[in-house]
Structure 1
Amino acid sequence: VNINRNLERAVKENDRVYLMRVPPTSSLSPLPAFAMVKPMAMSEVLDASKEKMFASLVPDNSAKALSRYTEMVDDIIRTQAEKLQQASELTRVRLKEMELPDSILALEGNFTLPTSLKEDVEAVQISGGPAGLESELQQLKDLRRVNQELLVQTEELLQKESREDAQFRSQFGTKWTRPQSSTLTKNLLDRLNRFAGNLKQAADSDARIERSVREHSALM
């Protein structure tokens, strides 16, 4: 049916558009034969002496093991790539904090110092260079010591007040109508704890600054 329909459409198109002369069927030469398959002797196909007939077949357990191995390798590669990316980002941040490689390029004369770093260098120079930094570090130590002493004194005063409150409450009983010390001094204790935490953070920060100054003092 499709052949007849296609023939009718082709005839109509030729009559209306192409106007090509159609030769009679009797004048056409017969179509040559075409070999669709290559004949082979069965002895060659079934000959197992040359190669294994099922060499390309893989057992199911081997295929599963290969799949698991491939997944494991992919996981290792992905994990290592993530670690590399994280390490690269951390390195970039650390270098940025140390103004590298801009500082090295500036020393070699191939690059100008970043504005922020240039301002820091000028501030150090104005304060007296390395000697000025040492003086400021000593001032930080003195201030930290004074603040620590004030913290200890305040803690001792609050503890003394708490002991006296407990003593008077035991001595006078119900006649001692003042609110308990823990209630009255709660806000002070909270502020004192925050102050102690701030001092601890400041001490850690000062230690990092001092260590950095010591490590880079030879370059100043």
Structure 2
Amino acid sequence: YLKREDVKRLFQSAQQKLGKTLSSGDMATLFSFYDWLGLPLEVIDLLLTYCVSRGKRGMHYIEKVAMGWAEEGLDSLEAVEEYLQIRKEGYGAIMRAFGQGKRLPAPEEETYMKKWLREYKLPLDVVITACERTIMRTGGVSFLYADKILQQWHQAGVKSQADIAKQDEAFAAKRAQQKSSEQPRQTAPQRQNRFINYTQREWDYNELERLEREKQREW
């Protein structure tokens, strides 16, 4: 049950953080974060701190961030702190690994990073390794290519650099086996064709000699 005193403290904290007197519309918007979005009051208070730290005090921006947090399921201080740490450290490190440290990620790029770090829960160093390999193999920035690598690693249960090394060894062994199994299929038909061609030419030559002898007897 939400107490009136708790709501009053939220509004007072919001006025102090935003540096202005809240209008009735502002109060209604803030209360909707609790009533409509289901965010706890302490999360709403942290939300205000976060927005102000980014230089954003407009209620429209704050509401947009609140909706994003609700979609992410950030319903506790611990969840919010983890989320903010991933955004600050994880996203920045990935962008630097792609050589894009001087710009913010585009929404689509952020969706990929969110999947790798929050859905797959891959360690940051594993994600960075995939980004570095993407650059080496494609010569450019490709979140899609990195995503394919990380999908395979996630399905294989990769959680460390040692796991990546095992995947590399298994892939190299598989390639070597494929090459060795393909070699006989490539050479055998060639030997068989040479034998057939040689036999065919020899038979033609003998037949020509026989026909020539018969022709001489007739004369």
Which TM class, normalised by the smaller chain length? under 0.3
Structure with higher RCO (Cα < 8 A, 6+ apart):
1
Higher helix share: 2
Query: TM-score normalized by structure 2?
Result: 0.25
Larger radius of gyration: 1
